[in-house]
Amino acid sequence: MKYNFDEIIDRKSTFAEKHAKLKELYGSSELIPLWVADMDFKVAQPIIDAMKDRIENGIFGYTMRPDSYFDDVCEFQKKRKNWNIDKKLMSSCLGVMPSICMIIQKLTNPGDKVIIQTPVYRPFFNAVKQASRELLESPLKEVDGRYYMNYEDLEEKAKQGAKYLILCSPHNPVGRVWSFDELKKLGDICLKYGIKVISDEIHSDLILWGNKHTPFASISEQLREITISCISATKTFNLAGLQSSIVIFPNEELKHQFDQMWDKLHVEGNNCMSIAAIQAAFRHGEEWLEQLLKYIEENVNFVKNYFDKYIPKIKVERPEGTYLMWLDCRQLGLNGGQLTRFMTSKAGVAMSSGTYFGSNGEGFMRMNVACPRAILEKALEQIRIAVSEL
Ligand SMILES: Cc1ncc(COP(=O)(O)O)c(C=O)c1O
């Protein structure tokens, strides 16, 4: 069926975080919210149908994830990424961030050094710091708006005794889909210095322009043995409110330790609606996903062309993956706080401040373009007028 991604759907009435927290975080609830990384699109019809069927059953008691759930995950990964996953090494969890936090807290030791590549998704910082592990920030290199891993710096950090690296692949917020060669080179450093990798691949189905995502654990058997991969259907199919994800371990011992931790907390994570929704997504969601990716590509082109033509002081490159655009606003001459205030109070648009992703995000803003184009048109027009009056 043909999906209509132009449809504007009310999200305020469903307490969507991007609306509900506007006043608290940005000072007004009337801003155009282009910050939280979820999509303003209705999900694939087979997901809605499966959830309706599940509701019709009428009983929502304690539930288990069937074996077929994990088969569906494996099949989807095999089909879209040619990645063979051993079902026995897979655990279900409440989300990618809860998984990463639990891995850091329970599978590393206090004081262990953990590398992240900045600018990067803010909760990575907190996951490390709140567990009293030491954060080692390896800044990405920016060349003409495109970001690259900084291997010299990574090796330097490795020599400082790093034990873990949290990889963001594809990378939020800069939109890079790391190539096989880039990941392999990173992997070589990790193997040389005995660094284990937590590979956050939550955006790995949101790949644009025919780019190719390489699962880090699929590069070689050696890398598989040092990698814990975190994936999820929730980002891909816009189901974040159902709180569910998958973790893939290199061996049964680590999986067992992880599972035991959740057991002790009495967290099953088997929300019955998420089972129905995610199985339907993996089995029947690809038609929607393909149309979604086309629509996001068109939105990206629309936004890029608009900035180039009407707001050239703000530079923007097309992301290779994700639905997030990284706006270089440095020419406006505003610092992080001033830039956010300018975008909210003068342009009426709420975006994530670049400094949220690390100090090298100063002067940047992250814009979520997974919304109907009419909303982007309005936001861009408001930004254009505000910049012209600056
Ligand atoms: C890189 C990255 N990891 C994790 C998450 C959060 O995932 P979850 O909602 O499954 O905890 C996000 C959400 O934006 C993200 O961008």
Q: Which atom of ligand 1 is nearest to the CA of 124?
A: 3
pLDDT of residue 268 exceeding 90: no
Closest Cα to atom 9 of ligand 1: 95
- Looking at residue 154, its pLDDT comes to 98
Report which ligand 1 atom has the smallest distance to the Cα of 97. 11
| Ligand 1 centroid, distance to 157 Cα (angstroms) | 25
Ligand 1 centroid – CA 97 distance (Å) = 6
Q: Which atom of ligand 1 is nearest to the CA of 234?
A: 10
For 206-232, the pLDDT digits (tens) are 999 999 999 999 999 999 999 999 999
For residue 269, name the pLDDT band (cuts at 50, 70, 90).
Answer: confident
DSSP per position, 103-121: HHHHHS-TT-EEEEEES--
Cα 170 to averaged position of ligand 1 atoms, centre (Å): 12
Q: Is 263 exposed, middle or buried (0-12, 13-18, 19+ CB in 10 A)?
A: exposed
- Which atom of ligand 1 is nearest the CA belonging to 95? 10
Residue 382 CA to ligand 1 center (angstroms) comes to: 29
Can you list the domains of the chain with their CATH numbers?
Answer: 12-43+287-388 (3.90.1150.10), 49-284 (3.40.640.10)
- Rounded CA gap, 116 and 358, in Å? 10
Q: What is the pLDDT of residue 238?
A: 98
Sequence-distant contacts of 280-283: CB under 8 A, at least 24 apart? 280/44, 280/46, 280/47, 280/49, 280/50, 280/51, 281/43, 281/44, 281/46, 281/47, 281/233, 281/236, 281/237, 281/239, 282/72, 282/73, 282/75, 282/76, 282/233, 283/46, 283/72
In this predicted structure, the answer to whether residue 50 has a pLDDT above a threshold of 90 is: yes
Q: Which of 97, 169, 203, 244 to mutate to test the pocket of ligand 1 (most atoms within 8 A of CB)?
A: 97
Query: Of ligand 1's atoms, which has the minimum distance to the CA of residue 244?
Result: 10
Name the nearest CA neighbour of 217 among 89, 390, 39: 89
pLDDT, mean of residues 300-309: 98
Question: Is the model's pLDDT at 26 over the cut of 90?
Answer: yes
218: exposed, middle or buried (Cβ count in 10 Å: 0-12, 13-18, 19+): buried
Say if residue 17's pLDDT is above 90.
yes
What residue ranges line ligand 1, CB within 6 angstroms?
37, 95-97, 121, 168, 172, 200, 202, 232, 234, 240, 245
